[in-house]
Structure 1
Amino acid sequence: MTKGYLIIGSIMALQTAFLFFIGLSAGEFPFIALTPLSLTVMSFCMHYLYPQFKDKDERMRMIREKGIFYSYFALLTFFIILMPTLGLGVIEITALNLMYVIASLTIMTVFISMVIMAKIY
């Protein structure tokens, strides 16, 4: 099963690289490429986490709980930074592109925090 996550992550990484290349070649930041990027990160994190998660024990439950707990505060920090930045007009971004950014940050933050918790515990 872990090889499946690695294969899917590699395919998604190639797709993400292609989308970033095409978007940047057109002279714009490709916000649409953030979703495959977050799914790439998720696949590689699940490749690392699967051996710990296949055993439904107390350690797995603690990794998930602590990962979600710390992700909550990281996401609050992202929102605290994004709101004044958008409100003051420091960056101009459409609502759809903002949703791409928020969704991608959410997915990546949750899974990266679980990997960090797995390394700690």
Structure 2
Amino acid sequence: MSKIVIENKPSSTRLETLGVSKWPTWSKEVSTFPWVFPEQEIAYILEGEVVITPNDGSAPVTFRKGDLVTFPAGLRCTWEVKQPLHKHYQLDGSLIGRIYRRIKLFFTK
């Protein structure tokens, strides 16, 4: 499995090229919870700080406001939201593909 990739403070040109301002947003209060990424996700962190600990024994990864983070498909991890999170995000693939991966994930726990 590939690793979580963090770009610290990407340029405004990079963000414009990706279309980040048009991506949906998601927020989460301070909390800890398990998560699985059925597909690759790219997120731009607007507010907050999070530590993600992969279930495969890899070192925890911290990201915060101003970071552009790429999460690989198939990543199983625990999120620890240390400061309330607000992010833009983009999921890889079509809606039908995302639904299929979630159904498949549900039946292969």
Range into which the TM-score falls when normalised by the shorter chain:
under 0.3
**Larger helix proportion of the pair:** 1
- Give the structure-2-normalised TM-score: 0.23
Greater radius of gyration (CA) = 1
**Larger strand proportion of the pair:** 2
